[in-house]
Amino acid sequence: MARIIGGLTTSHVPSIGGAIARGDQETPYWKPFFDAFKPVHSWLAKEKPDVAVVIYNDHGLNFFLDKMPTFAIGAAAKYDNADEGWGIPVLPSFEGDPDLSWHIINDLVDHEFDLTMCQEMLVDHAFTLPVKLMYPDAGDHWPVKVVPVTINSVQHPLPTAARCYKLGQAIGRAVASYPKDLKVVVVGTGGLSHQLDGTRAGFINKEFDLLCMDKILNDPVALTKYSNRQIIEQAGSQGVELMTWIAMRGALQGHVSKVTSTYHVPISNTGGAVMLLANDDQPQAVAAE
Ligand code: DHB
Ligand code: FE
């Protein structure tokens, strides 16, 4: 059976791509952020996941305001990156796992979680940079297959934190019932606090970010009690990317422990946070409620 072996969350600020292209990893500005991935690299080298389910928010590359699915999932054999206007290098294509994607889609729809299925899907910086941060030396061939999952964080109304947690739980159940022996890592990208526009542009809330990091590990259900308005007040209008962290955490079942966690402000306009959780023991596949 497939097993979820852990969950990784990271900010996905586009300028990370510029820093990588320039080789700025050791500069004082970037070093604390890139150093946060050293324990992640050791863990990945030891655990060797086969597939990464990457939960992120598209910023206008694959979906735009005219057609915006609340939740979408890729079912393609290959996912291309493209220039979305940030001027950062386009990264090599990613190999999908259509069989696992369709298993998740079928299981979710069977359990009344209806998401948009995409047999073609461009992946933006929120997907590509976290995978590059996981595997900086990968070259043209990534060591994991991928399943992209998007959560709308752009066009209101946005899904609630409670709904995103349930999405993660549903993905976790679906993966646990997949018959092939695969090690799966779930990645949630975005956040933490940031606001890129309006009178509060530049807003960062370190206290709330640290609270979220604690709750993601110890009490994720507490985060599902926040309304979107409360999250935007506390974390800024783009801080709703926290939903991807909440969904990632929902997918982890059984005992969860922290492998590493780092918080550093600012990375560009954002509270830069990285966290890796190990899913230590595995429950048997369970039916949806
Ligand atoms: C920034 C952060 C983001 O999450 C994003 O998608 C774009 C820009 C920033 O802090 O600059
Ligand atoms: Fe973003």
Pocket test for ligand 1, best of 10, 11, 12, 204 (most atoms within 8 A of CB): 12
Centre of ligand 2 to C-alpha 175, Å, is 26
pTM over 0.85: yes
Pocket test for ligand 1, best of 238, 241, 265 (most atoms within 8 A of CB): 238
- Give the H or E element holding residue 8: strand 3-10
Give the ligand 1 atom nearest the CA of 15. Answer: 11
User: What pLDDT score does 27 carry?
Assistant: 97
Residue in this structure with the two tokens 């950062």, named with its chain if needed: 88
Nearest CA, atom 1, ligand 1: 13
Q: Within 10 A of 173 (CB to CB), how many other CB atoms are there?
A: 23
pLDDT in tens, 247-269: 999 999 889 999 999 999 999 99
Conformational region of residue 60, where left means phi above 0, alpha means psi within -120 to 50, and beta covers everything else: left
Closest CA to 60 of 113, 123, 6: 123
Give the ligand 1 atom nearest the CA of 59. Answer: 6
Measured in whole angstroms, the distance separating CA 287 from the mean position of its chain's CA atoms is: 24
Nearest CA, atom 8, ligand 1: 13
Please give the full DSSP string across 214-270, using - where no structure is assigned: HHHHH-HHHHTTS-HHHHHHHH-TTGGGHHHHHHHHHH--S-EEEEEEEEEEEETTE
User: What pLDDT score does 289 carry?
Assistant: 45
Q: Which residues are catalytic?
A: 125, 194
Q: Would you kindly state where each structural domain of the chain is located, as residue ranges? A: 3-280
Centre of ligand 2 to C-alpha 128, Å, is 12
Centre of ligand 2 to C-alpha 285, Å, is 33
Spell out, as residue ranges, where the chain has pLDDT lower than 50: 287-289
Centre of ligand 1 to C-alpha 88, Å, is 13
What residues does ligand 1 touch, defined as CB less than 6 Å away?
A: 12-14, 59, 190, 194, 196, 238, 241, 268-270
User: What pLDDT score does 119 carry?
Assistant: 98
User: What pLDDT score does 281 carry?
Assistant: 74
User: What pLDDT score does 282 carry?
Assistant: 64
User: What pLDDT score does 288 carry?
Assistant: 47
Residue in this structure with the two tokens 């799966």, named with its chain if needed: 184
Centre of ligand 1 to C-alpha 18, Å, is 13
Sign of the Cα pseudo-torsion (237, 15, 78, 46, in order): negative
- CATH match for 3-280 among 3.40.50.300, 3.40.50.720, 3.40.830.10, 3.20.20.10: 3.40.830.10
Q: Name residue 264's amino acid.
A: H
C-alpha distances in angstroms, 59 versus 14, 34, 124, 151, 271?
A: 11, 23, 7, 10, 18
